[in-house]
Structure 1
């Protein structure tokens, strides 16, 4: 089978097994289980807790001791097994721990999937910056397909969403063992320091002012991403409480509407090589930050009909730019600016800052803020004010990044990958 096709299948399933429940879990949580908002923020923070340690740790293991594709396969099989336990949980406190276990196994596979794709492409003399985005776009398609499957089968408020993800996670884990071998690249010299022996070299990137700033703002943008994942579908579903919109398409098929965000991703992913080479990482990330501002502003004034519906759709469209120009471009920036010996570890650090500390900041912070200040006594959320606060947050981050992050763009740097 063609190598790029095999990596395309990997990318598709990688995000299918996440998209089957990530966007709809809020509907399951608030609607079916009728659990509280503060607890929901805690559950979503498990993405962050797991990402603080696991991506960096598994990156070190893949750089040092175990083939990346084998480690990846084992993690997905374990992730699938834990997902089978989800529907059995009847208490939000217990749900937190089961979800944490699932995220400990799943979150590191995101950066590992990037490392595997990068290694296989480079090992077969492909241009990573050119070839990776068209492969990665199928991950977004997998996420879309999973969302549609969950919604169209009537499972957006059902525990079956976890079973769907579990089955395909185990299939993906088995499939990973058929991939070309991705052996450890960092042989330990006899005179190596303790940090080198432990595989902690990548943390030295924080000594570089520019890289440290890059990771810091990656954390802030990671928080913005979690706000969308946590509340987007729930926000649209809540229009059901308004008699004017109860039977609207937006309410009945909220997950399909949200999937426009991922459809938009497929277009912007393919534009990344052009934008990175022409404008550089700073301008690309600034575009992402201002896109987040628009994402939240459009939601703030959106409704299921007329001009309000157009704003909701526009919000989903700009999401593609907001997500891709930060997440995918950031991963490529790390890949093209770090030494090959620590690339898996460096990808793990990027993951740690975005889906680790960023997810915790977004999950716990927004959960507390909304439950304390933006929830009516009857439990209804003040969505207009919530989205305006989020838009303000993204705007402040964009202004600070523009001032603080100094980077002179050289198109040749993007094309060059250090071997």
Structure 2
């Protein structure tokens, strides 16, 4: 069995075990448990909180002490066990804490899966990571969509079975991980190691480099943009029901299906990344991502379910470019810009800044701003909200273009092979 096929299976299951419940957990919370909605936002907050420290911590462990694939397998098995227990929780407060523990196991596996892929591909001279990684990663999005469909078609979207589906798949993935190629720790200890090295905090020294520090700061800002669209995209479409002329529109009735176009578009743009990287370089691809966020928000601002339906659909298509061009090219930038002894922890640091610091700041700041400045008599001013978000993304793009110095050298991506 080829290594690319084995990594593809890992990628598929990696996001299957998340997609089985992420989109439908609201139905379980409000429908089955019948809990009030004020605390529901904290369910998604647990992902950002876990990402603040767990990816970096597990990256350090993988760099220094434990094979990445073994740590990856253990985390997925623990994640599965917590998911099996989750439906038994009887109070919303305790549910949040249990979910946090599940996210502490799951969120770091995203960065670990990248490290495992890069290591396995580079260890085979016939592979080109820049060319081969995106087609492998695209199956993660396919797995996410497949899990959503299975949960819906089995009538599990408001029941505990969504967690059982994810848990069973996570057990399979955890056991399967132990069969993957060995990804041994690359960092070797010596007697003259500093305290920082001894504690495995070497990757934080990357903040001492102008280019890397700037990259991580922009990663944080883009992580915030992702939370804006995740938190408010479906709500925005659903609230067209409050306008009589749109109340019975297709968009209102099937808002979640419309939003799923965003994920379907990911599969196409992931496959396009190798061409864009080799043609334009890492910096330009990341800049294209930021401009795509401007389009994502700007199109929403002027759209509606009738004449403006094309803008909603185009916004969802653009999402694939906005999300994947930065996340995957950013991951490759980390891989080409760091020493092999700290790459796993550097990948964890990248995820900490996007899905951790950026996610938490984006969630809390956007929620506060919308409530304080853009909500009047209980009605959200979506036109102004989306234009403000578009301006936010535009300012980030301009600042990135000016401040981030990185010349495109076609041979730079060849470093990923070795």
The answer, yes or no, to whether TM exceeds 0.5 is yes
Asked if structure 2 preserves the Cα contact closer than 8 Å seen for 1:23 and 1:233, the reply is no
Aligned counterpart, 2:410: 411
- Within a 5 Å distance, the mapping from 1:290-301 to structure 2 comes to 290-301=291-302
The answer to whether the Cα contact below 8 Å between 2:128 and 2:417 also exists between their aligned partners in 1 is no
In structure 2, do the counterparts of structure 1 residues 262 and 144 end up closer, same or farther at CA, with 3 Å as the change threshold?
same
Task: Determine the structure 1 residue equivalent to 2:180.
Answer: 179
Alignment deviations for residues 268-327 of structure 1 (CA, whole Å, 9 cap, x no partner): 1112122122222221111111111111122223333x3322111111100010011100
Counting only pairs closer than 5 Å after superposition, residues 4-43 of structure 1 correspond to structure 2 as: 4-25=4-25, 33=34, 35-36=36-37, 39-43=39-43
User: After alignment, is 164-173 or 318-327 more displaced?
Assistant: 164-173
Give 2:196's aligned residue: 195
* Counterparts in 2 of 1:310 and 1:219: CA distance versus 1, 3 Å: same
* Aligned residue in 2 for 1:166: 167
Give the Å deviation of 1:406.
Answer: 1.5
User: Quick one: distance in 1 between partners of 2:219 and 2:100?
Assistant: 22
Could you list the per-position Cα deviations for residues 109-144 of structure 1 after superposition, in whole angstroms to 9, with x for gaps in the alignment? 000000011111111222111111110111111122
Contact 2:45 2:360 in 1 (8 A): yes
Aligned Cα root-mean-square deviation (Å) = 2.3
Q: Return 5+ residue gaps in structure 2 as ranges.
A: none
Q: TM-score, normalised by structure 1?
A: 0.92
Q: Does 1:392 align with 2:397?
A: no
Correspondence 1:148 to 2:149: yes
SS in 2 for 1:161: helix
Identify which range, 204-213 or 274-283, moves more after superposition: 274-283
The gaps in structure 1 that reach 5 residues or longer are none
- How far is 1:412 from its partner? 0.9
Distance 1:26 1:156 in 2: 9
TM superposition shift of 1:374: 3.8
Aligned counterparts, 1:338-417, within 5 A: 338-375=338-375, 377=377, 381-417=380-416
Q: Which moved more, 1:179-188 or 1:294-303?
A: 294-303
Residue 74 of structure 1: CA displacement? 1.0
Aligned counterpart, 1:139: 140
Question: In structure 2, do the counterparts of structure 1 residues 260 and 334 end up closer, same or farther at CA, with 3 Å as the change threshold?
Answer: same
Shift of 1:78: 1.4
Q: Distance in 2 between matches of 1:403 and 1:257?
A: 36
Would you say the 8 A contact 1:26–1:234 is kept in 2?
Answer: no
TM superposition shift of 1:343: 0.7
For the residues of structure 2 that align with 1:159 and 1:232, how far apart are their CA atoms? 25
| Cα contact 2:122–2:416 (8 A) shared by 1 | no
8 Å CA contact retained: 1:111, 1:344: yes
